[in-house]
Chains A and B, each alone.
Chain A
């Protein structure tokens, strides 16, 4: 059996630590014992494959999942999924979820005093194409308060969940919007020290995908872990 090239370990300060007391919920949930370094065996470098039969066209248009149109500003969110070696990743399942335009989630535990929208669920799914591209039509989510600290507000964001070709590439992250004044106050956004890493969570306004008289475009590229260079084959 050939040696399995492992996936790269995170670059310094670009991934959060488990314990980050500014985000209060980490205190009772972050593990305290040292982690054990897991070698990347066949179990870690494989991952489930999802099929196009599992995804409907309306799954990627969050404005067309009910009889009426949701309130709020329509936006197009699109981008590419690459690995750290710059390889586009096709057939990657992306799942997204978000608040409505008023900053309210369609979820029983969201008690924020803002209206629900009967025409907006806030969930979408997409399988990346052969070039790793994806595209969602949705509405711009609202900001909302949370109880982490006094007068805490989450910046507008969309949750993204991605599978890779290896289970160790699995990623859940959040996409933010350019120029949001709440970003600097948000312990989730500020959870990593590396400023460039933080800023890669902020989408960019995209003229190319903006639809005339219909919707602004935002581009959000996502990078999953890449493999270390393949070990040199031993000469006979």
Chain B
């Protein structure tokens, strides 16, 4: 049996009605193992104007490099209380924010380990389907031979690596267009 996947449609401007009940900006309550990190950023359009109606969703492995998903059969510990899923709806300044733990390394396409990363899925009015991208961590030596980062033209890789801002915050902005357009993936 072969069916065709349903066509994507825009999330539209009224997403909060349906999605705000499960806004999860703090993914890692006390007791979850791993290095605490805060990721914040803004979603900006072609004119640099904030996008105040985006849903930014995060998916990540736990600090041991294990996904809380039945599809992950690795022999690594799960962390009860850590699902690895976050959802932040941008505010009037276009800002989203997450508190979580730095993920461990997970295997890549050829079995080699990938650098620690977060998978980001972004929806908004004006997008007929989601954008998919990744966030990597600064000062992470394993970025140098990450199998996915290496697919990205070298001069554009910086858009996928969070920057250290004040107060221990990692800043990662989403530029939809322009000179510093964020790298998005065909998923």
Query: Are A and B co-members of a single complex?
Result: yes
Chain B residues within an 8 Å CB radius of A191: 7, 9, 128
B80 within 8 A of A: no
**How big is the B interface, by class?**
35 or more
Chain B residues within an 8 Å CB radius of A23: 10, 126, 128
B5, B13, B71: the one contacting A84 at CB < 8 Å is: B5
Measured in the bound complex, the distance between the Cα atoms of B147 and A44 in whole Å is 14
A4, A14, A36, A86: the one contacting B151 at CB < 8 Å is: A36
B3, B61, B67, B182: the one contacting A223 at CB < 8 Å is: B3
Question: Who on chain B is nearest to A45 by CB?
Answer: B71
Contact A107 B9, CB 8 Å, known A33-B156, A41-B114, A43-B119: no
Whether A173 pairs with B68 at a CB distance below 8 angstroms is: no
Whether B125 pairs with A25 at a CB distance below 8 angstroms is: yes
A96 within 8 A of B: yes
**How big is the A interface, by class?**
35 or more
Chain B 1-23, CB within 8 Å of chain A: the 1/0 string? Answer: 11111111111111111110110
Q: Which of A14, A109, A172, A192 is most buried by chain B, counting CB atoms within 10 A of its CB?
A: A172
Whether B129 pairs with A226 at a CB distance below 8 angstroms is: no
B4, B21, B49, B152: the one contacting A197 at CB < 8 Å is: B4
Whether A38 pairs with B5 at a CB distance below 8 angstroms is: no
Could you tell me the dominant secondary structure of chain A's interface residues? loop
Measured in the bound complex, the distance between the Cα atoms of B119 and A168 in whole Å is 10
Closest approach, in angstroms, between the C-beta of B78 and any C-beta of chain A? 11
Whether A16 pairs with B5 at a CB distance below 8 angstroms is: no
Interface residues of A in 37-76 (CB under 8 A from B): 37-39, 41-49, 54
7 nearest interchain CB pairs? A97-B18, A86-B1, A25-B126, A46-B69, A16-B128, A29-B126, A48-B85
12 A/B residue pairs, CB under 8 Å, sorted by A: A14-B4, A16-B8, A38-B148, A41-B106, A86-B2, A107-B16, A159-B14, A167-B121, A168-B132, A172-B9, A172-B10, A223-B6
9 more contacts with CB within 8 A, not counting A28-B47, A28-B49, are A1-B74, A15-B5, A29-B51, A42-B72, A43-B61, A49-B70, A82-B3, A170-B57, A200-B4
